[in-house]
A and B are shown apart, each in its own frame.
Chain A
Amino acid sequence: MRTIVKYVMLDLLKNRIVMGYTLLLLVLSFGMFSIDENSTKGVLSLMNIALIFVPLISIIFSTIYVYNSAEFIELLVAQPLKRKTLWLSIYSGLALSLAVAFLIGVGVPVLIYESSATGLILVVSGLFQTLIFTGIALLASVKTRDKAKGIGVSILTWFVFTLIYDAIVMLLLFQFSDYPLEKPMIALTMLNPVDLSRILILLKLDISAMMGYTGAVFNEFFGGQLGMLVSAIVLLLWTTVPVWLSVKQFQKKDL
């Protein structure tokens, strides 16, 4: 497995997009922290980068990369290699490169300006987004043969998690505003890795007081040890399940 990861990483290191992504994150992070004296505002702005921009780049870049590696995959499938090993190596190479890019681009500035529990949870959330959306990208690209369609599916998935899902939740909230929705809201949050991470960061920022009664319920649940544990498990599931499904699919795929 290490051999293949090595070749994927070597290929990605030569790729200018990963370099550009790292630099862009660095510039954005330092920019956000320098604009305001108050580093909490910087964390808030960075949160939006880690939860919207990072998933977008992870999912699209990984999808395109897998399609562009079609020759590489075809060459190696005829070799004495397990398909599972090959696929997981590609995932590891991609996820590792993007995670390192994020750690340098966001992790380092956060360490300098805001090395607190809040900063830590921001970086961990961003890392989870990278791993989760790379996994979803692999699933999308193994399911669809056509490159354009695959990229479309990826963009749509990103759209659903960052925008459409929230819109639907809002709609439900207004439709059922006569009922107590705090508990179902927690469940709905769990179903979306982006929302889950956002709540975790916001609660650490102590501005949940501004979120009214729902905020209090959230704080009670996610602030406790059980809530933290459940969130961690849900995020881990989001990281592993799509990759596992894509492995299953890849083992059956005709090349």
Chain B
Amino acid sequence: MLIASNVTKTFGKLKALDNVSVTCNKGQTIALIGPNGSGKTTLIKTMLGMVVPDSGFITFDQHNILHSWHYRERIGYMPQIGRYPDNMTIAQVMDMMKDIRKSDVLDEDLVNEFNLPALAHKKMRTLSGGTRQKVSASLAFLFNPDVLILDEPTAGLDPLSSEILKQKIVAEKEKGKLILITSHILSELDDLVTEIIYMQEGKLQFHKSIAQLQEDTGQVKLTQAIAHVMKTH
């Protein structure tokens, strides 16, 4: 349902994305893996329309996303570093998002499990990195979207919250949603993902299912399989 075709993006001299083509289908849980600066976040941002590609195009359900915005109603995005207006409280940010999305079906599981109502009156500027992540995660899941794009979801979360989030991802996966995750903590992804996209220096190295990757590398654990790939590439 989300297809990128020959997407290229340069920032000055740096080629952040180099002719990347990927196809993401409903029901898949895809891990986007690669070293720092390999273009994972840029790819995600082009899918969200936050970065405009120099060439190539992206379609969402067969519609080109360029100059379109309705499709974002069906995406929940959790940024790597959630940045929020300093002077707003958690409750105000939540209310503003509800106001913009105008969705009737709300999924407040994470809001409650992270115990955010107790912190609702706190200003965004006073929050710790982990709490901000909780707000970002809650917002991504709040509107029950068909597609979830999670950029380093567990970075900065304590083990307990990290586990809550993981359980939530599994629950959504079982509902047949498309989930895209980038993470450096490979052990976490092991029992979560069905596909792997591996990127390096802005290029797509491969897009395989987990089973295929295990077969190709002869390793069962994702950590070892990727280590094997990194050594050979």
Q: Interface on A for B, CB 8 Å cutoff?
A: 3-4, 7, 11, 14, 69-72, 74-83, 251-252, 254-255
Contacts and interface: CB of A to CB of B under 8 A. Distances in A.
Given A4-B100, A79-B101, 18 more contacts: A7-B96, A11-B87, A72-B84, A74-B50, A78-B77, A78-B79, A79-B72, A79-B97, A80-B69, A80-B71, A80-B72, A80-B100, A80-B101, A82-B69, A251-B67, A254-B45, A254-B50, A254-B52
Contacts of A81: 69, 72, 100
A255 B85 contact: no
Contacts, number: 58
B83 A252 contact: no
Interface in B75-94: 75, 77, 79, 83-87, 93
A252 B50 contact: no
Contacts of B83: 70-71, 74-75
A216 to B, nearest CB: 53
B43 interface: no
A195 B77 CA distance: 49
Task: Name the prevailing secondary structure of the A interface residues.
Answer: helix
A21 B41 CA distance: 42
A219 B198 CA distance: 72
B79 A11 contact: no
B100 A78 contact: no
B156 to A, nearest CB: 17
Interface of B: 11, 45, 48-52, 67, 69-73, 75, 77, 79, 83-87, 93, 96-97, 99-101
A14 to B, nearest CB: 7
A128 B83 CA distance: 34
Contact of B84 (A7, A75, A77, A79): A75
Contact of A79 (B52, B85, B100): B100
In order of increasing CB-CB distance, the 3 nearest A-B pairs are A71-B83, A80-B72, A80-B73
B83 to A, nearest CB: 4
Contacts of A252: 52
Contacts of A255: 45, 50-51
Contacts of B75: 78
Given A3-B99, A3-B100, A7-B96, A78 B48 contact: yes
A3 B84 CA distance: 17
Contacts of B70: 80
11 contacts: A3-B99, A7-B96, A71-B83, A74-B83, A75-B84, A75-B85, A77-B48, A254-B11, A254-B45, A254-B51, A255-B50
Contact of B85 (A11, A251, A254): A11
Contacts of B50: 74, 77-78, 254-255
B58 to A, nearest CB: 14
